[in-house]
Amino acid sequence: MTEPDGAPWREFAARRDGMIHAMDGGLWLHRHIWFDTPMAHLVSTDRERLLAYGAAAGLPAHRLQDKPLKDPRTGKRRPAWHWDLVGRFLPPAR
């Protein structure tokens, strides 16, 4: 599944909206700054989808991070994963 602009992920102004998208199996690109370095997390509850993105982008599968997240709709923790994207792996802002 790709977004209308062709990207496999979506970005959201509201963190809650991004979390809900990720909880529904979508790829949520969450940008932030880490030690003055632009980076992003690419987050989803769909591990296979994240692994497919990683394979296409040249990310080593062992770098996918397991991080259960709280679903904002229910308050319950769910299995989720994310990639840390930095440097050449960080998509340009749209």
| pLDDT tens per residue across span 49-81 | 999 999 999 999 999 999 999 999 999 999 999
The two structure tokens encoding residue 37: 């370095």
Over the stretch 37-57, which tens digit does the pLDDT of each residue have?
Answer: 999 999 999 999 999 999 999
Contacts of 3 by beta carbon, 8 Å cutoff, 6+ apart = 9, 10
Cα end-to-end span (Å), the chain: 19
In contact, 44 and 22? CB cutoff 8 Å: yes
Question: If you average pLDDT over each of 4-8, 18-22, 30-34, which comes out highest?
Answer: 18-22
pTM over the 0.85 mark: yes
- Report which secondary-structure segment, H or E, holds 51: helix 47-57
Least Cα distance to 67 among 57, 80, 78 occurs for 80
Residue 11: band (very low, low, confident or very high) from pLDDT cuts 50, 70, 90: very high
